[in-house]
Amino acid sequence: MSSDRHFVIVGGGLGAAKLAEALRARDFEGLVTLIGAEEHLPYERPPLSKEHLAGKKSLPEFTVDPGQWYRDHHIDVRLGTTVTGLDPAAKTVTLPDGSTLSYDKLALATGSTPRTLPVPGADAPNVYTLRTIEDSDTLIELFRSARRIVIIGAGWIGLEVAAAARAAGVEVTIVERADLPLRAVLGPEMAQVFADLHRANGVDFRFEAQVEAITTEEAIATDVANGVRLADGSTIEADAVLVAVGARPNVELAADAGLAVDDGVLVDERLATSDPDIVAVGDIAAQQHPVLGRRVRVEHWANALNQPAVAAETMLGKQAAYDRLPYFFTDQYDLGMEYTGFAAPDEYARLVVRGDTAAREFVAFWLDSDNRVLAGMNVNVWDVTDRIKELILAGEPVDPDRLADTTTKL
């Protein structure tokens, strides 16, 4: 392979760093340029709502590689730089100063952006989202001064921030449109486990609630948020508001360049986009999954960690397929959880629980109508993820009663 080839990675998160690692690990000797919008070297994001927010980890501990690694491996890192254009025909990317970089192969790892609310007061001071290290640092400072906060959204970020806030002694009210937290992800039975968990730790839920406005009060120079008003006319007072209503994939660059997009950048099993010289990984990758037999886009750490190895193979012209099952995890209060597989709430036929949900020590399995395992979630039960994977990949019917029996080995 010619050493004058130029591979460009657009993105500055875990996926981008792991792709740079994977290219060098596969003896690619050409030029590698990594272009990241943030001023920091690539870092992992889960600690922003977990260990870092809880004061247990600092940024250097979850920065993927130190600066010396990039220098030693001759990676041209350009931080604080947002690519403004992509021309697949000319095989160039445009930088903020109008200059262009030519590439032979390109990787998109542009991540996602927190969604905002189209309501009055949404852009007022004291309204926060969580995506960057600066956002997490801001929340840490907030927890030291605030007495009460409102969190809009009961997804993973909302619940993890709520757990950190409660640990810091802050009163928390969560406003959620659904009737339970995480219902769209876990279905009603397991969603109830998380509702009970947070209520036991003092969180006030407002379910089936619509936010009409983020209320404000006049401060020295401007109006600052002081709570929310719901559609039923009720108000909830707060010192700050966190909006945690999901994220949107950053597909604008790909879409403007004419790549196929639909709730993400469409990629095949090799993570190649509609342009064979461009791959996509992480939050933006809507992949045709070879095992699940469907297109999935998963906004979780495991994809950003593991997809780059396959993307690197594809960029190097080798055969590879990303066939790992979706995986994610959370830590809230005394609950640790891992989830493996994929089971849409409206697609599974039954839920089988193995263990004690009241004690929050169990494994839950989502089964289809033929009693085949679609997904599994272990809560405070460890070293079972490989067994869960085997049950899913086997694709064979199981006996639900034996599955629920803790005396029967998985």
pLDDT at res. 2: 47
| pLDDT at residue 24 greater than cutoff 60 | yes
| pLDDT at residue 78 greater than cutoff 60 | yes
pLDDT at res. 219: 61
Closest CA to 372 of 354, 345, 399: 399
Instruction: Find all residues with CB under 8 Å of 121, minimum gap 6, and list them.
Output: 127, 213, 214, 215, 216, 223, 225
The rounded distance, in Å, linking the Cα atoms of 194 and 213 is 27
The rounded distance, in Å, linking the Cα atoms of 53 and 136 is 6
Q: What's the predicted TM-score (pTM) here?
A: 0.95
The arithmetic mean of pLDDT across residues 58-86, rounded, is 98
| pLDDT at residue 37 greater than cutoff 60 | yes
Question: What is the CA angle 365-353-395, rounded to 5?
Answer: 25
pLDDT at res. 221: 53
pLDDT at res. 410: 87
Strands 171-175 and 6-10: unpaired
pLDDT tens digit string along 321-370? 999 999 999 999 999 999 999 998 788 999 999 999 999 999 999 999 99
Give me the chain's average pLDDT, please: 95
CB 49 within 8 Å of CB 21: no
Residue corresponding to tokens 């003092």: 202
pLDDT at res. 220: 52
**Range name among 111-125, 256-270, 311-325, 343-357 with the lowest pLDDT average:** 343-357
Res. 222 pLDDT band, cuts 50 70 90: low
Closest CA to 11 of 237, 218, 251, 212: 251
| pLDDT at residue 108 greater than cutoff 90 | yes
The arithmetic mean of pLDDT across residues 139-144, rounded, is 96
**Range name among 20-34, 134-148, 221-235 with the lowest pLDDT average:** 221-235
